[in-house]
Amino acid sequence: MEILLGLVFLIVGIIVVILSVRQRKVCTGVTMATVVDVSGERNYHTNNDYNHNGFSFGTSGEVSLYPVYEYYVGENKYVRKSNSNKRAVFVGQTVQIHYNPNNPTEIYEGKNIMPIIAGVIAIVIGIIIMIVK
């Protein structure tokens, strides 16, 4: 069972790293984008502090903020919701984004290296789980 769990971490980590590196490789265009909206999504989870005898008396959650960018590539205007959660973002803010010249709707923001770091961590956890078995 441990080997299967380790393998899952390893595979997911490798996929995340490959997709992140691929995105950096193909998104070679750079432009400035303006935040025109912020989409908030609440992530609910059970709050263990309110559990008593197996009954949950409440839930809590955090709000993830996803900026909606407006940017231009040539004379074409694009509006695209980010797939990266941002802690501090506000309408009117200007940020640098990278886009795929062959598909300008494919973007990533600035120096977002968290997916690569998360992928490497998952790979390391997977290897440790399989070795410690």
Domain segments of the chain: what residues? Answer: 2-132
- Is the whole-model pTM more than 0.85? no
Per residue in 13-63, pLDDT (tens digit) is 999 999 989 888 999 999 999 999 988 776 665 544 444 444 444 445 677
Cα 26 to Cα 99: distance, rounded to the nearest angstrom: 8
Per residue in 60-87, pLDDT (tens digit) is 567 778 899 999 999 999 999 987 777 7
Question: Is the C-alpha dihedral spanning 9, 118, 110, 41 positive or negative?
Answer: positive
